Structures are given as structure tokens and as C-alpha cells.
């Protein structure tokens, strides 16, 4: 079995790899452009950017690549619709919506003739997404970085969702290498989404401290918290997280910009994620997929793609050899 291309609506993606759209300026134009140039979908994370910054990022990426660009946006963000419209006006190729469910996005993107991908964690929501007009769904399990919609693993969710819909199903959540891609393709996924692997790339513009923290941390440093967004999340244990787990009231926000439609206000998540992006260990919230410890180096996106594809093909070849009749 050869590594297949990924068809989403009328859009053909050379390789079935989507770069996770990590919010608060983790996934920016430089990273998205590099992934798009290698034949995947490069994604800009809209949440946490003001509209002028998002517009600038989309234009920079659009001018720099002929590849495919996506927008990732949290439905829970107050400026959700505004972000989508900005990206559509800048000719984004696909919109990916997560951290909540919106019917409005299907209407908006249909008017702009742009495919929508929704994040789902059940066959029921996948079927609803297909009925409303989704061109694909992303199944994200509990091993993903950031906000989680389920406590189940992607491998447990994937078969039922693949059976429930006729649109492409993309697997996400805690993938670190090409064998993960091969395994998901073997289970019926049309492709994969990977976030942390691309955060740990030269082209990701987060502070070096963020990357060094993930490279040097141990798997046991990962903890599950309940985010102010109202969803569980995987993050590295840092002083901020330790205070949150101890219910330390000193981290409660003293002011609020109302960036979310609803917020638990245990701490300001926008400030915490911004601090992480800027490398502030003391005050930052460092989201990561569960397999971060399996990624041992920061590399250029081009090399990451070469390795991912080679390992995925090797996995598929081994699987084919095992299934071949004896003597064939």
C-alpha cells in the first residue's frame, strides 16, 4: 500500500498530513507555509490573534506558498465568526473548527465555497457534521495536546466513526512519528493531524524555551487539567499548573478581556498561553500531546516530512508483507 493522497471536497492534498492549528500564535505563517510547501495542509491557529494580526498572517502565508492553507479556530472563542470571515476573505483553502460545535460555520463556508472540517469525538457528532456539510472530520482522542473533547483514545473512536460517515476521517491525538501515520491509515483513517511534532520544528516561531521544555521534560511531567474553556487539557506541570492544581487563588485574573464566550476564570488562559509562547516557564501554560517525550529533536519541516513519510511507508510495507500468503 502506497501512502495515499487526501481528498477533501474538491481539494487534493499530496500527503495525508495536516499540521495542527495551535492557538495563540504557535501555528503562524512561517510554520504553515513550510508544511504547505511539503505537500501537507499548513494551518494557522486563529484563536488569540486580533483580526489585523490574523489578516497579516494569512496574507504572508498566501503570498509565500502555492500549497494548501487552513485556518483552525475555537468555536469557544468570542471572535470565532470574525476570524473565519477574515480567513475566507484572504482565500484560505479550508476551515477547521474545534473546541465546540457551530452550525453557523457550515452556512458561512458554503457561501464562500470553502470546505469545512470539524473536530469530533463521537459517531453521532460526525454524522451531524456530514449532514450539515462538513467535507471531512477530525477524530481527536485524549492523547492530544490542548483542549480535549473525550477521555477515549483515537484508536478506540476511529473504527465506529469511519463506519458512520462517507466523508474522510482524519485521526489526531498524540502522534509523534511516521509509524503512527501508517497505523492510522491501516485502521481506516484518510489522514492524520499532528501538532506537537510540528511545534518542535525550526519553523515554529515559539520561544526556544518552549521547545527546550518539551525536549527535556519527562512523560511523567504531563498532567491533565480542566481549562477555563471548560474542557480537559494536557499540559506540562509548571509553577502555574501546580498553583492551579493546589487551588491557589493568587492566579485568578484581576481583569478580563472576554476573549471566550464562557470562561471558568480559574486563571487567564490567554495570558498563560501567551506566556508559554514567549518562553515564560513561571507563568506559562504549555499544552502538548502525550507522546511529546518520543520526540527527541527540533528539526526543519522538510526533514520532518521526509522522516514521517519514510517511516509511514515502511510500516505499511511491513504490514503488507505480514499479510501476504506464505510462498507468494
If asked whether residues 25 and 112 sit together in one domain, one would say yes
88 belongs to a structural domain: yes
Which residue, among 238, 264, 260, has the nearest Cα to 252 in the 3D structure?
264
Kindly give the confidence (pLDDT) of every residue in the chain, 328 residues in length, as a single tens digit, with 9 standing for 90 and above. 789 999 999 999 999 999 998 888 888 999 999 999 999 999 999 888 899 999 999 999 999 999 999 999 877 777 788 999 999 999 999 999 877 777 888 999 999 999 999 999 899 999 999 999 999 999 988 888 776 677 888 999 999 999 999 999 999 988 999 999 999 999 999 999 999 999 999 999 999 999 999 999 999 999 888 877 677 788 999 999 999 888 888 877 677 666 655 666 776 788 888 899 999 999 999 988 888 999 999 999 999 999 999 999 999 998 766 665 645 4
Cβ atoms of residues 15 and 35 within 8 Å: no
- Report how far residue 79's alpha carbon sits from residue 111's, in angstroms, rounded to the nearest whole number: 19
Cross-strand bridge partners of residue 171: 139, 192
Chain centroid to CA 283: how far? 23
Predicted confidence at residue 117, as pLDDT, reads 95
If asked whether residues 250 and 111 sit together in one domain, one would say no
191 belongs to a structural domain: yes
If asked whether residues 167 and 28 sit together in one domain, one would say yes
Residue 58 lies in domain: 6-202+299-323
183 belongs to a structural domain: yes
If asked whether residues 130 and 212 sit together in one domain, one would say no
Cβ atoms of residues 128 and 116 within 8 Å: no
CA distances from 235 to 14, 103, 168, 195, 306 (A): 32, 30, 29, 13, 28
If asked whether residues 135 and 240 sit together in one domain, one would say no
| Inter-axis angle of helices 80-89 and 104-111, nearest 10 | 10
272 belongs to a structural domain: yes
- Report how far residue 66's alpha carbon sits from residue 271's, in angstroms, rounded to the nearest whole number: 34
If asked whether residues 36 and 118 sit together in one domain, one would say yes
If asked whether residues 304 and 257 sit together in one domain, one would say no
If asked whether residues 264 and 316 sit together in one domain, one would say no
If asked whether residues 178 and 261 sit together in one domain, one would say no
- If one counts the domains in the chain, the total is 2
Cross-strand bridge partners of residue 73: 97
If asked whether residues 177 and 228 sit together in one domain, one would say no
Predicted confidence at residue 121, as pLDDT, reads 87
Which residues, at least 6 apart from 44, have a Cβ–Cβ distance to it below 8 Å? 21, 27, 28, 29, 32, 54, 57, 58, 61, 69, 70, 71, 72, 87
Give residue for cell 509509524: 179
If asked whether residues 219 and 124 sit together in one domain, one would say no
240 belongs to a structural domain: yes
84 belongs to a structural domain: yes
285 belongs to a structural domain: no
Q: What does the buried/exposed string (b/e) look like for 302-325 if buried means 16 or more CB atoms within 10 Å of the residue's CB? A: eebbeebbebbbebbeeeeeeeee
Altogether, the residues listed in the chain come to a count of 328
Cell of 8: 477533501
Cβ atoms of residues 138 and 117 within 8 Å: yes
Predicted confidence at residue 256, as pLDDT, reads 66
From first CA to last CA, the distance across the chain in angstroms is 16
Could you tell me the pTM of the whole model? 0.90
- Report how far residue 281's alpha carbon sits from residue 170's, in angstroms, rounded to the nearest whole number: 33
If asked whether residues 15 and 160 sit together in one domain, one would say yes
Amino acid at each position: 500500500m502506497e501512502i495515499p493522497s487526501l481528498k477533501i471536497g474538491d481539494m487534493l492534498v499530496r500527503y495525508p498530513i495536516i499540521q495542527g492549528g495551535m492557538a495563540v500564535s504557535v501555528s503562524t505563517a512561517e510554520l504553515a507555509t513550510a508544511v504547505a510547501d511539503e505537500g501537507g495542509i499548513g494551518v494557522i491557529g486563529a484563536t488569540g490573534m486580533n483580526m489585523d494580526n490574523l489578516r497579516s498572517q494569512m496574507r504572508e502565508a498566501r503570498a509565500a506558498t502555492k500549497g494548501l492553507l487552513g485556518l483552525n479556530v475555537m468555536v469557544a472563542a468570542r471572535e470565532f465568526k470574525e476570524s473565519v470571515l477574515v480567513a475566507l476573505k484572504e482565500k484560505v483553502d479550508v476551515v477547521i473548527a474545534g473546541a465546540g460545535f457551530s452550525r453557523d460555520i457550515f452556512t458561512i463556508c458554503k457561501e464562500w465555497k470553502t470546505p469545512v472540517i470539524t473536530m469530533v469525538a463521537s459517531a453521532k457528532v460526525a454524522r451531524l457534521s456530514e449532514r450539515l456539510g462538513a467535507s471531512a472530520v477530525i477524530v481527536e482522542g485524549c492523547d492530544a495536546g490542548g483542549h480535549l473533547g473525550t477521555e477515549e483514545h483515537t484508536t478506540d473512536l476511529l473504527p465506529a466513526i469511519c463506519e458512520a460517515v462517507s466523508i474522510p476521517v482524519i485521526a489526531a491525538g498524540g502522534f509523534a512519528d511516521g509509524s503512527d501515520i501508517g497505523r492510522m491509515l491501516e485502521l481506516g483513517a484518510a489522514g492524520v493531524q499532528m501538532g506537537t511534532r510540528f511545534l518542535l520544528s525550526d519553523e515554529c516561531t515559539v520561544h526556544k524555551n518552549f521547545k527546550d521544555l518539551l525536549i527535556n521534560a519527562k512523560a511523567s511531567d504531563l498532567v491533565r487539567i480542566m481549562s477555563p474553556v471548560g474542557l480537559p487539557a494536557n499540559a506540562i506541570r509548571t509553577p502555574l499548573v501546580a498553583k492551579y492544581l493546589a487551588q491557589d487563588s493568587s492566579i485568578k485574573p484581576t481583569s478580563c478581556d472576554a476573549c471566550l464566550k464562557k470562561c471558568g476564570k480559574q486563571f487567564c488562559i490567554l495570558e498563560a498561553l501567551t506566556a508559554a509562547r514567549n518562553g515564560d516557564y513561571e507563568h506559562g501554560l504549555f499544552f502538548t500531546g502525550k507522546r511529546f517525550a518520543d520526540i527527541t529533536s527540533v528539526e526543519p519541516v522538510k526533514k520532518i516530512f521526509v522522516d514521517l513519510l519514510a517511516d509511514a511507508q515502511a510500516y505499511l510495507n511491513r504490514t503488507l508483507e505480514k499479510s501476504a500468503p506464505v510462498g507468494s
